């Protein structure tokens, strides 16, 4: 798949997820075979750019691969300025968020709320595309609610405005993340535009990846929640797409190395206090089985990086013994 001048090495992209796809997580996914990892969404409001959270999200020093930065907002001029600012900070691609269903985003008429106003969508897309000389991509949902699925209309507007590629989550805003993603709307979008289309939503296994590609005819897949606690899913999917065979499950010693590296990078990125708290979330995803409940409870009570790191080491030492 081609995005502007950038040729992706395969069809697998990491979805932008607030509080998840920070630099530590993106680099792990890229190492395991993702062709592109889109960063967490950044507000177009310049008043928040100097906050600690925004500075951390803007960090790309030492980042691997193509740098795609997602911006969110509802004012065309602010969005254009945000795009220019992030290109100056090193973004290779600007991604526009019109898919986030969160209330705090939608109450500002940003994210998926914008799908209610195609005219404003057009104004924003035109402003951002004109403001930068890098490719601009867009992420949307199928519509605002099940009765108003206007994904095809928004996709056609995006193409007309010069958007380089379009990612579509197979749910409406009203659906949030409930129920199951549907791919008929994504298939219809692909059939109605010529720019690359990326399918997103409930792609959590190699078999599901193969099905979605075949059913929709899209150019690539975007994986979000399926990669939480499982950055190696990209390697598993790519192997299956190439060979039709499943990889053996990740070995214990490799999972141990990945988790410990991830913890270390979180502590480095956020500092000990915040890093410990982010580590609780990620560790809960890595070790999410019922029989691991006690470990998660013990881990979540720890307040220091050293204690967390040591407990994970001990956990895997015991696994190897048994």
Residue 4 counted as an annotated binding residue: no
Residue 262 counted as an annotated binding residue: no
According to DSSP, the residues that pair with 141 across neighbouring strands are 169
Which pair of tokens denotes residue 141? 């949902």
Which pair of tokens denotes residue 224? 């979000």
Residue 115 counted as an annotated binding residue: no
Measured CA to CA, the distance from residue 111 to residue 104 in angstroms comes to 10
Residue 200 counted as an annotated binding residue: yes
Write down how long the chain is: 322
The answer to whether the beta carbons of residues 133 and 64 sit under 8 Å apart is: no
Residue 70 counted as an annotated binding residue: yes
**Residue 100 designated active-site:** yes
Residue 202 counted as an annotated binding residue: yes
Residue 17 counted as an annotated binding residue: yes
What 24-28 contacts at long range (C-beta under 8 Å, 24+ apart), as own/partner pairs, is: 24/262, 24/265, 24/266, 24/268, 24/269, 25/231, 25/262, 25/282, 26/63, 27/63, 27/64, 27/265, 28/231, 28/258, 28/261, 28/262
Measured CA to CA, the distance from residue 217 to residue 40 in angstroms comes to 27
Residue 224 counted as an annotated binding residue: yes
First and final CA of the chain: distance in angstroms? Answer: 45
Q: Which of 29, 100, 161, 175 is catalytic?
A: 100
Residue 16 counted as an annotated binding residue: yes
Question: Residue 71, SS3?
Answer: strand
According to DSSP, the residues that pair with 43 across neighbouring strands are 72
What residues form the annotated binding site? 16-18, 70, 139, 169, 200-202, 224-225
- Going by the annotation, the residues of the binding site for FMN are 16-18, 70, 139, 169, 200-202, 224-225
- By annotation, the residues acting in catalysis are 100
């Amino acid at each position: 798949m081609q995005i502007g001048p950038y040729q992706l090495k395969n069809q697998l992209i990491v979805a932008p997820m607030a509080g998840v796809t920070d630099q530590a997580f993106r680099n792990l996914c890229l190492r395991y075979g993702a062709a592109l990892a889109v960063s967490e969404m950044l507000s177009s409001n310049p008043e928040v750019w100097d906050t600690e959270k925004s500075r951390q999200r803007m960090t790309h020093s030492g980042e691997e691969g193509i740098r795609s930065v997602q911006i969110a907002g509802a004012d065309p001029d602010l969005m254009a300025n945000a795009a220019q600012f992030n290109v100056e900070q090193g973004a290779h691609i600007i991604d526009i968020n019109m898919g986030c269903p969160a209330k705090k985003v939608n109450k500002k008429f940003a994210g998926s709320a914008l799908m209610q106003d195609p005219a404003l969508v057009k104004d924003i897309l035109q402003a951002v595309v004109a403001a930068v000389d890098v490719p601009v991509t867009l992420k949307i949902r199928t519509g605002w609610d099940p009765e108003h699925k206007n994904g095809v209309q928004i996709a056609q507007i995006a193409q007309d405005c010069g958007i380089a590629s379009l990612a579509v989550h197979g749910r409406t805003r009203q659906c949030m993340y409930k129920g199951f993603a549907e791919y008929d709307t994504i298939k219809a979008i692909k059939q109605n535009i010529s720019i690359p289309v990326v399918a997103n939503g409930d792609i959590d296994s190699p078999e599901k990846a193969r099905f979605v590609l075949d059913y929709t005819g899209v150019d690539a897949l975007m994986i979000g929640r399926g990669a939480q606690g499982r950055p190696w899913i990209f390697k598993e999917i790519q192997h299956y797409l190439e060979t039709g065979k499943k990889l053996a499950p990740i070995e214990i010693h490799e999972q141990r190395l990945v988790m410990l590296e991830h913890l270390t990078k979180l502590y480095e990125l956020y500092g000990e206090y915040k890093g410990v708290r982010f580590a609780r979330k990620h560790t809960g995803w890595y070790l999410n089985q019922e029989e691991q409940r006690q470990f998660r409870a013990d881990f979540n009570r720890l307040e220091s990086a050293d204690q967390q790191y040591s407990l994970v080491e001990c956990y895997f030492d015991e696994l190897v013994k048994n």
